[in-house]
A and B are shown apart, each in its own frame.
Chain A
Amino acid sequence: MAVPISYSFHNLWKRRLTTILTVSGMALVVFVFAAVLMMAAGLQKTLVETGSSDNVVIVRKGSTSEVMSGIERNSASIVEMLPQVAIDAEGLRLVAKESVVLIALQKRGAEKTASHSNVVVRGVQLQSLPLRPQVKIVAGRMFRMGSSEVIVGNSIAKGFQGVGLQGTLNWGMRAWTVVGIFDAGNTGFSSEIWGDVDQVMQAFRRAVYSSLIFKLQNPDDFSAAKTSLESDPRLTLEAKRETRYYLDQSEMMAKFLRILGMSLTIIFSIGAIIGAMITMYSAVANRTAEIGTLRALGFRRRNILIAFLVESLLLGFIGGCVGLFFASFMQFITISTVNFQTFSELAFKFTLTRGIFLESMFFALIMGLTGGVLPALRASRLKIVDALRAV
């Protein structure tokens, strides 16, 4: 017969201070663990949602981001004529030639202390909008083609100075007026500034486009388009599905965050496991007589072992729940930082996924179990006579 679970539960309740301290140590570890993983997941989710799998991004061979890439006008015309490019209702080809540069903008805050960061300026064509259905104007209006007007993503409008509606930006010896603010949901476009590609290229004295984006007529045509582009001797270009392209951009940073999170929590968990071990050892020591009584009543060694393991698992479980409870509030937080790989600002939300939830809970239970194994073994090995004699 097993020792009832309520026995373990009552023991934890009886010594609340100790339980609270042990649980809070574990909860903190779980919190840090979950928060860092949520950060990596949020970054990846944002960049994955930025791309759509029907779209293809074309950049110069070997360049890892649009900023580094350059596509000559004549190469661009060759790509435009690919048979795999989709055609819209008006018979126009769904292909956009874009120019991407970085500009340094000052973040909001005190004039002296606010830091600068690199923001993406994307020169777009009319066709860019149907290619990115996520982008919606939420304030003001769309810029007019052929003018020095720009629209700004909402994350940038929130975080930087002078980019609110009617604000002016100065670059390329011109003043650019912000005429609209757009919301691109949880995607990288929310951290960009958009203007007319020809105006942007002229202002930055760029002779070449950065990238080409087109929609596939048929989503399965990607490999055909890729082969015909990459085997064309006139071109030194590389084609990637948009989803793949943005996923690649998140890889390094997400990996960095994951390694950071893992190594931190492994070190921290040693502390929490020791905490659980101390608690459980003293639980065993204080209850030696009780254990003797239980054994005398007919409970087996195995039952005692399980009872103490359950108790320490309960500790881990409560720690995990508390840690996850607080971590789930992190979902309301958006952070904005520079993605090392593209060297540009990107805003993203902490995202709690099912996987992270399960991993954190599993981790918490493992911590409880590891802390409880040795004390539980000691408890189960006590001799009845010795145990009963203890005061």
Chain B
Amino acid sequence: MMLLKILFRNAFHNKLRSGLTILGIAVAILAFWLLRTVINSWYSGVEAASTTRLVTRNAISIIFTLPISYQEKIRQVEGVKIVSYGNWFGGIYIDEKNFFANFCVEPRTYFELYPEFVLDPLQKKAFLADRKGFVAGRKLAAKYGWKPGDTVTLKGTIYPGNWDFVLRGIYHGRDKTVDETQFFFHWAYLDETMKMTTPRRSGQVGFYMIGVARPDIAAETAIAIDKVFKNSLAETLTETEKAFNLGFIAMSEAIVTAIQMVSFVVIIIIMAVVANTMAMTTRERTGDYAIMKTLGFGAKEITILIFGESLVITLTGSLIGMLLTFPAAKVFGQSLATFFPVFLVSEKTLYYDLLAAFLIAFLAAIIPTRHAIRIRIADGLRRIG
């Protein structure tokens, strides 16, 4: 108890300096959390992927399509329960800045495959009945103020022209990790239009989404599907949804690695600040330590004092930072919704925060402690300031 009291007294002896240090730590912890969360949201698609879904696409690359006739052939493969398909549409809403994912899909099977997209039965019926209808995620609809019945026009980049859609339903996620910023419309709408304008582009599918009966047969089913189309004009590549999403992230690996590295840089910066504070404190208190040594206290007690003080300061700072995390997450989540549809504070990040705090406290105290222990009593007493 006595020790704790001394530690707190020492830590807040110079209020201005401790206050500034604590502020610095709080900001650093906040920044560290922000960067980790950005990385986590990058991977959110992987986390949300189901183990019973497979994605089949053209083996050459994602920009090549597959014929619609593959649907029946895939359905015949053992282990396949349900087959849906769709295309990346890549339409622009008014301006390139308003980016959101827009797909055309075969709606009946697609929503069956994705039970996490919850759609009101009435709205679902209206969507299925209207070939020009579309379904938007809750966040997306809220962002642009769309209400059921509204007409929305997308400018096609891959499929030229202006495309009109009518909002028929708004889905919401079954849990927090579901992306609520997507836009789905009927594959048939795209295909019928292509048949009229550019017949060679009709009957083409960007990807097949496949539901398998059990997760443990997913790998074998994927191999079996690819075997069917081996040596054909459009060879396929089938992966689990998780692997498919990971493949996308791997492409921007360099940036993820950079952010990861930078998130450690902020810890090093704050370590320098805390080490600086501790160095000043011990220098000012050299006389005290000399007196303690005279009284018979050993290196152990002095070490505990310095490390304890460093720990008190960093922990206070990180607790404040962690408390600030929650309101900050709300603000950031809203403003970054276009880039990161899912932006959540994970428990793991908070543990990392704590770990970082301990690390900072210990590393920052090492040099000053060595200094304080090594100093000879006479020198310590003689020194002023």
Binding site for B on A (CB under 8 A): 17-18, 21-22, 24-25, 28-29, 31-32, 36, 39, 60-64, 67-68, 101-104, 115-118, 171-173, 204-205, 207, 236, 252, 260, 264, 267-268, 270-272, 274-275, 277-279, 281-282, 286, 335-338, 340, 343, 345, 391
| Alpha-carbon distance between A172 and B231 when the two chains are bound, in angstroms | 9
Taking the closest CB of chain A, its distance from the CB of B362, in whole angstroms, is 16
Complex: A298 Cα to B280 Cα, angstroms: 30
User: In whole angstroms, what is the CA distance A260 to B35 when docked?
Assistant: 10
A-side contacts of B280, CB under 8 Å: 18, 278, 282
Q: Are B233 and A173 in contact (CB under 8 A)?
A: yes
Chain B residues, CB < 8 A from A115? 247, 250-251, 253
Q: Tell me which residues across on chain A come within 8 A of B259, comparing CB atoms.
A: 260
Inter-subunit contact A21/B275 (CB<8 Å)? yes
Partner of B21, one of A21, A104, A116, A274: A274
Q: How far is the CA of A67 from the CA of B60 in the complex (A)?
A: 14
Residues of A within 8 A of B252 (CB): 337-338, 340
In the assembled complex, the CB of A69 is this many whole angstroms from the nearest CB of chain B, namely 9
Which chain A residues lie closer than 8 Å to B98 at the CB level? none
Task: Enumerate chain A residues within 8 angstroms of B266, measured Cβ to Cβ.
Answer: 267-268, 271
Contacting residues, chain B, for A205 (C-beta < 8 A): 233
Once the chains bind, are A391 and B384 in contact (CB under 8 Å)?
A: yes
11 contacts between A and B (CB under 8 A): A21-B279, A25-B273, A28-B269, A104-B60, A268-B31, A271-B24, A274-B20, A274-B23, A336-B254, A338-B251, A391-B385
CA distance A67 to B59 in the complex (A): 17
CA distance A116 to B167 in the complex (A): 37
Apart from A271-B24, A274-B23: 16 A-B pairs, beta carbons within 8 A: A63-B158, A67-B63, A68-B158, A104-B59, A104-B61, A104-B62, A115-B253, A172-B233, A205-B233, A260-B259, A267-B30, A268-B31, A268-B265, A278-B280, A338-B252, A343-B62
Identify B27's interface contact among A18, A64, A270, CB under 8 A: A270
Contacts of A31 in B (CB 8 A): 265
Tell me the complex Cα distance, A204–B63, Å.
11
B108 to chain A, nearest CB (A): 29
B218 interface hit (Cβ, 8 Å): no
> How distant is the Cα of A21 from the Cα of B273 in the complex, in angstroms?
7
Q: Contact partner of B160 among A61, A118, A338, CB < 8 A?
A: A61
Instruction: List, in ascending order, chain B residues with CB within 8 A of A282's CB.
Output: 17, 280
Contact A25 B157, CB 8 Å, known A18-B280, A117-B250, A268-B266: no
Q: A118-B251, A274-B23, A277-B20 are in contact. Are A236 and B272 (CB under 8 A)?
A: no
7 tightest CB-CB pairs across the interface, nearest first?
A115-B250, A338-B251, A337-B254, A274-B24, A25-B272, A21-B276, A275-B273
B276 touches A278 (CB 8 A): yes
Q: Which among A24, A68, A172, A271 is the interface contact of B28 at CB below 8 angstroms?
A: A271
Q: Is B44 an interface residue (CB 8 A)?
A: no
Q: Do A32 and B265 contact each other (CB < 8 Å), given the known contacts A102-B61, A104-B60?
A: yes
Chain B residues 13 to 51 lying within 8 A of chain A, measured CB to CB, are 16-17, 20-21, 23-24, 27-28, 30-31, 34-35
Does B255 make an interface contact (CB < 8 A)?
Answer: yes
Interface residues of B in 247-303 (CB under 8 A from A): 247, 250-255, 258-259, 262, 265-266, 268-270, 272-273, 275-277, 279-280
* B-to-A contact residues, CB < 8 Å: 16-17, 20-21, 23-24, 27-28, 30-31, 34-35, 59-64, 90, 96, 155-158, 160-161, 200, 231, 233, 237, 247, 250-255, 258-259, 262, 265-266, 268-270, 272-273, 275-277, 279-280, 367, 384-385
Residues in A with CB closer than 8 Å to B59 are 104
**Neighbour of B31 across the interface among A68, A207, A267, A335, CB < 8 A:** A267
Complex CA distance for A64 and B96, rounded to whole angstroms: 10
- B62, B157, B251, B265: the one within 8 Å of A64 (CB): B157
Give every chain A residue within 8 A of B385 (Cβ-Cβ): 286, 391
Q: Assess A62 versus B27: contact at CB under 8 Å? Given A68-B90, A281-B16.
A: no
- For A236, the chain B residues whose CB sits under 8 A away are 160
CA distance A272 to B258 in the complex (A): 20
Tell me the bound Cα distance from A335 to B161 in angstroms: 37
User: In the assembled complex, how far is the CB of residue A345 from the closest CB belonging to chain B, in whole angstroms?
Assistant: 8
* Bound complex: CA A161 to CA B20 (Å): 52
Determine whether the beta carbon of A337 is less than 8 Å from that of B255: yes
Does A22 contact B276, Cβ atoms closer than 8 Å?
Answer: yes
Q: How far is the CA of A279 from the CA of B275 in the complex (A)?
A: 11
User: Contacts A286-B385, A337-B255, A391-B384 given: A279-B276 contact, CB under 8 Å?
Assistant: yes
A98 to B61: give the CA distance in the assembly, Å. 19
For residue B231, which residues in chain A have a CB less than 8 angstroms away from its CB? 173
A64–B27 Cα gap in the complex (Å)?
40
B251 touches A271 (CB 8 A): no
